[in-house]
Amino acid sequence: MKFRKNLFKKINIIIENGSTTLCPKNTKEVSIVLKICHINNIEVIPIGGNTNRVLGTYQKDKKKSVFLSLRNLNKIIKLDTENLVMEVEAGATLAKVQKKALNKNLLFPVHVASHKECNIGGNISTNVGGLQVLRYGNIENNINGLEYVLPDGTIINQLSFLKKDNFGPKIWRVLCGSEGTYGVITKASLKLIPKKLNNHTFLIEIQSLNKIFKLFKQLREKFFDELTSFEVIFPKPINLITNVNEKNFNIIIEFQTNNNHSYKINFKNFKILKFEKNSINSKIWPIRKLIITQQDSLLFKYKYDISLPINNWSLFLKKMELFHKNNKDYDPYYFGHLGDGNLHCNYKINDPNKQKIKNLEEQIYKIVLNLKGSLAAEHGLGYRKNYLVKKYKTKEIYTLLNNFKEFFDKKKLLNRDKLIKS
């Protein structure tokens, strides 16, 4: 530990439980840290808000690695109201960015349940999706450019305030979803949009999945530019927070619009549990976050973040229902973003063991891949699922990803064994 203190004399260091965390104050200090680690063969684990679900900041060996925290790189550098771009440091929380935009009657349209804890750098590294992908896409669709530092300490500045820029390929895009394995993001140019005048949020009770799918298609066709969220909560997660034997589904639907008409007529055949218009302190969205919190507190350890073509959701659920009938040890709790095809399949397993876990995973993954889905919709792979690429992707893609890692990080010191196993 002493030699590390000597190496990083000008960098703020925290030593806790045998782990060393370096806390640089700016891009230049990030570069210094990475350069020193590169020369001395020290593994570096970047950490942001630490809100991920897949052990993205897992430390295998405390003696051979250090954490690199971006908590001090948290400034909002510039808000350009002419070009609708905000330049921020990677350690700024998503909530801070959203608040700054709203102060100018603008919107950064990426939103996740953990917006108060997660930060922009981590959001980009996992290419976060969230609650409004249906309308605004993942975070990579809302970025103009990045500044990042390569594993050897080289600073690359590709920040931009331009909408059109084909002066060479946008190499920064490779870092979106790379989970901190190619470089450390230090700044981002984020796209903003004018804030809509009205937000209409509904909590609806619906009896069947068929009715849910039918309603979604109707709303998407009728209000494509206004429908921002369509969230499905299955009965069992609702029971967790209400202690009621609920048999129906809850749906959270949100519209962002500049018009003043009412959307209630579209739900005349359903029970509206709650409705909010332009609510500052929503009572609807916390319900969804409470489900996640409750599942975490009850140690729901087995979580599968999948996505499917929307027309294949029903088939997936039917196949899983058949699996559960024949395998009573698995207790499923589902919720998800129907609007973008992302379903969170969380489980309790009675008397769990390696074979039971393996059986469940193989069942889910086999069905998802046969239905043209993805095994990692928005949480990434991290350390926990770093074996999936080699096992389920083609040999060509696996080789290409290894070549990318080799190009950016020849020594394989940056976030080693995350995304794919080194």
CA distance 230 to 131: 8
Q: What pLDDT shows up at residue 65?
A: 94
3-state secondary structure the chain: CHHHHHHCCCCEEEEECCEEEEECCCHHHHHHHHHHHHHCCCEEEEECCCCCCCCCCCCCCCCCEEEEECCCCCCEEEEECCCCEEEEECCCEHHHHHHHHHHCCEECCCCCCCCCCCEHHHHHHCCCCCCCHHHHCCHHHHEEEEEEECCCCCEEEECCCCCCCCCCCCHHHHHCCCCCCCCEEEEEEEECEECCCEEEEEEEEECCHHHHHHHHHHHHHHCCCCEEEEEEECHHHHHHHHCCCCCCEEEEEEEEECCCCCCHHHHCCCEEEEEEECCCCCCCHHHHHHHHHHHHHCCCCEEEEEECCHHHHHHHHHHHHHHHHHCCCEEEEEEEEHHHCEEEEEEEECCCCHHHHHHHHHHHHHHHHHCCCECCCCCCCCCCCCCHHHHHCCHHHHHHHHHHHHHHCCCCCECCCCCCCC
Q: What pLDDT shows up at residue 3?
A: 53
Domains of the chain: 76-194 (3.30.465.10), 198-370 (3.30.70.2190)
Of 188, 190, 184, the C-alpha closest to 28 is: 184
Q: What pLDDT shows up at residue 4?
A: 63
- Whole-prediction pTM: 0.93
Q: Is residue 396 exposed (0-12), middle (13-18) or buried (19+ Cβ within 10 Å)?
A: exposed
Whole-angstrom CA distances from 385 to 62, 121, 231, 292, 356 are 21, 21, 26, 20, 17
Whole-angstrom CA distances from 227 to 133, 194, 230, 269, 339 are 10, 16, 8, 19, 9
What residues have CB less than 8 Å from 362, skipping those under 6 apart?
A: none
CA distance 135 to 89: 25
150 near 132, Cβ under 8 Å?
Answer: no
CA distance 189 to 179: 19
Of 414, 383, 373, 420, the C-alpha closest to 399 is: 420
Whole-angstrom CA distances from 324 to 40, 116, 140, 363, 364 are 51, 36, 37, 11, 11
CA distance 322 to 347: 16
115 near 292, Cβ under 8 Å?
Answer: no
Q: What pLDDT shows up at residue 5?
A: 64
Q: What pLDDT shows up at residue 136?
A: 97
Distance of CA 319 to the CA centre of its chain: 27
Q: What pLDDT shows up at residue 57?
A: 86
- pLDDT in 10s for each residue of the chain, 422 residues: 555 667 888 899 998 888 999 999 999 999 999 999 999 999 999 998 776 667 788 898 888 999 999 999 999 999 999 999 999 999 999 999 999 999 999 999 999 988 999 999 999 999 999 899 999 999 999 999 999 999 999 999 999 999 899 999 999 999 999 999 999 999 999 999 999 999 999 999 999 999 999 999 999 999 999 999 999 999 999 998 887 777 999 999 999 999 888 899 999 999 999 999 998 889 999 999 899 888 887 777 899 999 999 999 999 999 999 999 999 999 999 999 999 999 999 999 999 999 999 999 999 999 999 999 999 999 889 999 999 999 999 999 999 999 999 999 999 999 999 999 87
Q: What pLDDT shows up at residue 241?
A: 87
CA distance 372 to 364: 13
Of 26, 77, 74, the C-alpha closest to 48 is: 74
